[in-house]
Homo-oligomer: A and B are copies of this chain.
């Protein structure tokens, strides 16, 4: 068995090296590029199992690079950026990235995500890693959520969700049954430490209920677990 080949694309040498160290520590081979152009050149001469791509780069930024890369192949791409908002855009749009991480990131989380992508890519085969796993339609009884088209339907009828509402609902539906505390939800959705999140999340939950529940006062889908958090009833 040969080692996994990972390409790290970032203009900041320090970050390049940091990532290299983490990944080598996990037994992976690491190549480096300083911008999108360099990355494309490297891609022509070598095959990679995963690409880690910074968004902000000179010459060719991460988004342009992703489009170019996707023209020829679909290795998993993990995006890096300093701003959460960037990421939301990127993921919402069909840029073609498979996962993302905001700086500053936790090394362990980086490793976890890298491994996760590698696992998907190799178990499902290079062909269609995207569609099969994370992007399946999620459903709970009459409630259906499509992560790709960002559509939500209740008993066949479409309901419009705002981005935040969608993300909360997605989180709960991906892990249906599992209870998330308000702080959990805030951190996973906002990608920021929870800071006076109680009310904010509560308000969003209420709006979601208004849209998906027949009777918001007696929710059948999005339930509260007193003193613990919220969950999607199985």
What is A's interface to B at a CB cutoff of 8 Å?
12, 14-15, 17-18, 21-22, 74, 76, 89, 91-94, 96-100, 103-104, 106-109, 112-113, 115-116, 119-120, 123, 125-130, 148-150, 162-163, 171, 174-175, 177-179, 183-184, 187-188, 193-196, 225-228, 231, 234
Do A195 and B226 contact each other (CB < 8 Å), given the known contacts A15-B92, A116-B129? no
Leading 9 A-B pairs by shortest Cβ distance: A91-B104, A18-B94, A163-B227, A116-B193, A112-B193, A149-B177, A112-B195, A113-B193, A14-B93
- The copy count of this chain in the complex is 2
Residues in B neighbouring A171, C-beta threshold 8 A: 127
- How near does chain B come to A231, taking the closest CB pair, in angstroms? 7
- A204 smallest CB distance to B (angstroms): 13
Complexed CA–CA distance, A150 and B128 (Å): 21
List of B residues within 8 angstroms of A150 by Cβ: 179, 225, 228, 231
Q: Which residues of B lie under 8 Å from residue A91 when comparing CB positions?
A: 103-104
Residue with the highest number of chain B CB atoms closer than 10 Å, among A194, A196, A234: A194
A178 contacts which chain B residues (CB < 8 A)?
Answer: 125, 148-149
Asked if residues A128 and B112 are in contact (CB atoms below 8 Å), the reply is yes
Do A104 and B99 touch (CB < 8 A)?
A: yes
Cβ contacts under 8 Å, A226 to chain B: 162-163
Residues of B within 8 A of A104 (CB): 91-92, 97, 99-100
B175-A125 in contact (CB<8A): yes
Contact A15 B119 (CB under 8 A): no
Report whether A112 and B17 are in contact in the complex, using a CB–CB cutoff of 8 Å.
no
Q: What residues on B are CB-neighbors of A96 within 8 Å?
A: 107
Question: A187 touching B119 by the CB < 8 A rule?
Answer: yes
CB pair B92–A18 under 8 Å, yes or no, is: yes
Interface centre among A96, A100, A178, A227 (most CB of B within 10 A): A178
- Complex CA gap A193/B91 in Å reads 16
In angstroms, Cα B174 to Cα A74, docked, is: 29
In angstroms, Cα B96 to Cα A228, docked, is 32
Q: Find chain B residues with CB under 8 A from A228 CB.
A: 150, 163
